[in-house]
Amino acid sequence: MSELPLVVVLCGGRGTRLGALTAELPKPLMPVLGQPFLERQVALLERQGFERFLFLTGYRGEQIEDYFLRQESRRQRVRFSHEETPLGTAGALVQARSFLPDVFLLLNGDSYLAIDYRRLHERLLEADAVGVAAAYRNPTPSDAIESNNLALRDGAVTLYRKRGADPRLTHMDAGAGVYRRSLLDFVLPDDRPPISLEETVWPRIIARHGLLAHVVGEPPFDIGTPARLAAFVEHLA
């Protein structure tokens, strides 16, 4: 089996929809049943053999750095790239270009998806594609989980649309993917931050038939709103 890739975690958001809960705390460190959310996410990856992590931080990012650098067992396995102003999900990757290997696993720092991430990695290595995104078929959209925003055909993503009803949208982006560094070639010189990976870069990759889908059976959870945070707590409890 090939070496598992670097795990890149997007941690730059302000978490404004959580109101006072993130006034003094970055969203990824939000306590969930007494444990920081990001700790749960990282521990899940470590149990599967992933060892190296790069955190792309922004709002109160020094707290995330301090959390991991205080842990002797992880101190040598983590790196950080901090944005002073909001760069967007793609912009943060561009800034961290020098840290990125040829292939990396990318996660949202506010999403929890209990799958075998090694399968995502294997799927990309077997394919001639820029990336493989985890996709979940959400039968019952609600305040606690995103609506379907992906159209799939023959194992590939053919459309991403964040908002708006469209019968072609049968799955949702589950907040995780494995990508080649050539992803950054789809960020154009005229793009100005904040640059969204999903809304700006994905359509360009999709047009080249370069984004595959790995359909998962486990629902993704995120803590972006009070309702979604409550749903994750209920799931764990």
pLDDT in tens, 136-183: 998 876 766 788 999 999 999 999 998 767 889 999 999 999 999 999
Integer Cα distance of 49 and 57 in angstroms? 23
DSSP alpha helix (H) spans, the chain: 37-47, 61-69, 88-95, 117-125, 202-207, 226-236
Query: Residue 144: what pLDDT?
Result: 67
Query: Residue 14: what pLDDT?
Result: 84
Query: Residue 149 corresponds to which tokens in the numbers above?
Result: 């925003």
Which residue's structure tokens are 């749903």? 231
Identify which has the larger pLDDT, 1 or 71. 71
Integer Cα distance of 109 and 19 in angstroms? 18
Query: Given a cut of 70, is residue 26 above it in pLDDT?
Result: yes
Query: Residue 111: what pLDDT?
Result: 94
Cα dihedral 147, 149, 153, 156 sign = negative
Query: Residue 143: what pLDDT?
Result: 66
SS3 state of residue 28: helix
Rg (C-alpha) for the chain, rounded Å, is 17
Read off the pTM: 0.96
Could you tell me which residues come within 8 angstroms of residue 237 by beta carbon, excluding any fewer than 6 positions away? 33
Q: What tens digit of pLDDT does each residue of 67-124 get? A: 999 999 999 999 999 999 999 999 999 999 999 999 999 999 999 999 999 999 999 9
Identify whether 203 is preceded by a cis peptide bond (ω within 30 of 0): no
Query: Residue 146: what pLDDT?
Result: 80
Q: What tens digit of pLDDT does each residue of 192-237 get? A: 999 999 999 999 999 999 999 999 999 999 999 999 999 999 999 8
Read off the pLDDT of each residue in 15-33 and give the average, rounded to a whole number: 91
Integer Cα distance of 229 and 184 in angstroms? 32
Integer Cα distance of 178 and 211 in angstroms? 10
Integer Cα distance of 96 and 99 in angstroms? 6
Cα dihedral 44, 222, 179, 184 sign = negative
Query: Given a cut of 60, is residue 1 above it in pLDDT?
Result: no
Integer Cα distance of 86 and 84 in angstroms? 7
8 Å CB contact between 105 and 44: no
Count of other CB atoms within 10 angstroms of residue 53 = 22
SS3 state of residue 42: helix
Read off the pLDDT of each residue in 11-36 and give the average, rounded to a whole number: 91
Q: Domains in the chain and their CATH numbers? A: 6-236 (3.90.550.10)
Integer Cα distance of 147 and 87 in angstroms? 25
8 Å CB contact between 211 and 153: no
Query: Residue 140: what pLDDT?
Result: 77
Q: How many CA atoms lie within 13 A of 37 on its CB side?
A: 25
